[in-house]
Amino acid sequence: MDDNNWIEIARTGIFTDSAGRRQTFTERDLDDIARAYDPAKRDAPLCFGHPQTDKAPAFGWVDRLKSEGGRLYASFSQVPDEVRELVARGHYRHVSMSLMPDRVSLRHVALLGAAQPAIDGLAAVEFADGGDAITVDFAAGRGKGDSMTTEELQRQVGQLQAQLEALKAENATLKKQAETHRQDRDKAESAKNEAEQKAEKASADFAAYREKVEGERREARVSELVKAGKVTPAEKASVLDFAAKLAELGGGTVDFAAPDGKTESLSMEERYFRELDARPVDERSVDFAAPVHGEPARGGNINPADLTAKL
């Protein structure tokens, strides 16, 4: 894998994380993160946004980290072509890394869409040669009341000024073309419409792809509940339908009190599955061919009287 496949996910400096806390990263910190990463023990997934639970699907995996010149780089594997195309088309322009509380173990790397980067100064990157570059992000946002350093402010002013000059030059060129070649304007409008249509199709294709992945995950989870005797086979279709409707609602979260007394903030679908997990086993729907509580398989020694008593 050549250097074009390395993506910058952090740099040295003082930043504000998604919880509004100041975080300082030195070259030694980045070296420690890169040195501690071992995908054979725990590989970090590539996700869309920051997932609420570890049950969210992965769209690639971090296979290596390296630290050079005050920058932290990651390389990815098993990234689906659909995801690469979305990045190449500019639908996901930023990335953000998430660390474990020890500030050394990489938890995941998130692709961000509309979220703006909390730091700048990182090189533009792409997943594969020939794609449009994406800008690297580090955290979800800057805490309320935080102020930028003079260096950050000057850098952003310089970037905005360069963008403004580029827009002015582009606007002058477009005006000249419109005055001398009216047909060029029509072609430009046609090209814009075509690009918008392609963008809409790409978004629709990805929505269908993500729905398929979520559906397969949901199906597998309910099948496990049926196998464990927490959901009866007759309930399976209605449980799947209700879980899908909860997922469609999206949005906010609800609190869930775990058996150990801890309270978690979960999506409504995840809380529903947690409640099903907590159900007592209904032995009428247990697979008699499978071991239960460490006992041997019971497929050939079923006592009709015992079964009748359970019913």
Q: How confident is the model at residue 126 (pLDDT cuts 50, 70, 90)?
A: low
Residue 125, C-beta contacts closer than 8 angstroms, at least 6 positions apart: 6, 7, 8, 133, 134, 136
User: What mean pLDDT is predicted for residues 207-226?
Assistant: 87
pLDDT at 304: 46
| Of the candidate ranges 116-125, 164-173, 190-199, the one whose mean pLDDT is the lowest | 116-125
Q: How confident is the model at residue 5 (pLDDT cuts 50, 70, 90)?
A: confident
pLDDT at 4: 52
User: What mean pLDDT is predicted for residues 24-44?
Assistant: 93
Task: Using DSSP, state whether 145 is helix, strand or coil.
Answer: coil
Give the residue among 254, 229, 21, 221 at the shortest CA–CA distance from 118: 21
Q: How confident is the model at residue 38 (pLDDT cuts 50, 70, 90)?
A: very high
pLDDT at 300: 45
- What type of residue sits at position 204? A
pLDDT value at 299 more than 60: no
Task: Using DSSP, state whether 299 is helix, strand or coil.
Answer: coil
User: What mean pLDDT is predicted for residues 243-270?
Assistant: 76
C-beta separation of 310 from 292 below 8 A: no
pLDDT at 177: 82
Q: Average pLDDT, whole number, for the chain? A: 75
Q: How confident is the model at residue 252 (pLDDT cuts 50, 70, 90)?
A: low
pLDDT at 272: 84
pLDDT value at 156 more than 70: no
Give the residue among 154, 178, 110, 141 at the shortest CA–CA distance from 17: 141
- Taking the whole predicted model, whether its pTM rises above 0.85 is answered as no
Residue 227, C-beta contacts closer than 8 angstroms, at least 6 positions apart: 287, 290
The burial of 270, by beta-carbon neighbours within 10 Å (0-12 exposed, 13-18 middle, 19 or more buried), is given as: buried
Place of tokens 């400096």: 13
| Of the candidate ranges 6-20, 60-74, 201-215, 283-297, the one whose mean pLDDT is the lowest | 283-297
The burial of 243, by beta-carbon neighbours within 10 Å (0-12 exposed, 13-18 middle, 19 or more buried), is given as: buried
